[in-house]
Amino acid sequence: MDLTSQDENCDGYESPSSGSGKDLKNVEEIPSSHELLSDGFMNQILPKIRNIKNKIEEVTKNQNVMIESLQKENEKVEEWNAHNEVSTYMTEVKHYHSKLLKIRKEMVKLSEKSAKLKQRSLKLDQIKQKEDLKQKEIKEKQKQEELSLTAKPATLPPEQS
């Protein structure tokens, strides 16, 4: 179907190509069927398009709000993770601190034992030295006694001649 047949069917107007001369004046005043169709189409579609545009803008705003909210939540989660790591480290520090205190106590005990053992060793050395000295003295006395007990050659008194 061509445009001229469409023009004839629209609202009872004849197209200018139909040949009637009296309608030529009216043709200029009457909008063409194309214009009428496009105006009608636009009148029906534009409100819907504007409505859709408004809804899209509203969804975009809502998405931006959601994005900001998610970013804030992500920051909170990152802070919590950092805090959790610090808490974990603090727990480890407490654990190692208690181990260190136990080791320190053990070292103090060992130092005290070592000092006591050194003192005991010194006392034992002193006792041993005294015993050795007594043994030497006893041996000396025994030698003296043996020497005094051993027969001495008798010396004859000088002869009187």
Instruction: Give how many domains the chain has, as a whole number.
Output: 1
Rounded to whole angstroms, how far apart are CA atoms 75 and 71?
6
Which of 37-41, 56-60, 68-72, 134-138 is predicted least confidently? 37-41
Rounded to whole angstroms, how far apart are CA atoms 70 and 83?
19
**Which residue type is seen at 25?**
K
In a domain, 18, yes or no: no
**Burial zone of 32 (CB within 10 Å; 0-12 exposed, 13-18 middle, 19+ buried):** middle
In a domain, 85, yes or no: yes
In a domain, 16, yes or no: no
Q: Decide if pLDDT at 131 tops 90.
A: yes
In a domain, 125, yes or no: yes
pLDDT digits (tens, 9 = 90+) for 49-95: 999 999 999 999 999 999 999 999 999 999 998 888 888 999 999 99
Confidence of residue 153 (pLDDT cuts 50, 70, 90): low
Query: Which structural domain range is residue 125 located in?
Result: 55-135
Cβ distance 36 to 6 under 8 Å? no
In a domain, 14, yes or no: no
Cβ distance 38 to 44 under 8 Å? no
In a domain, 75, yes or no: yes
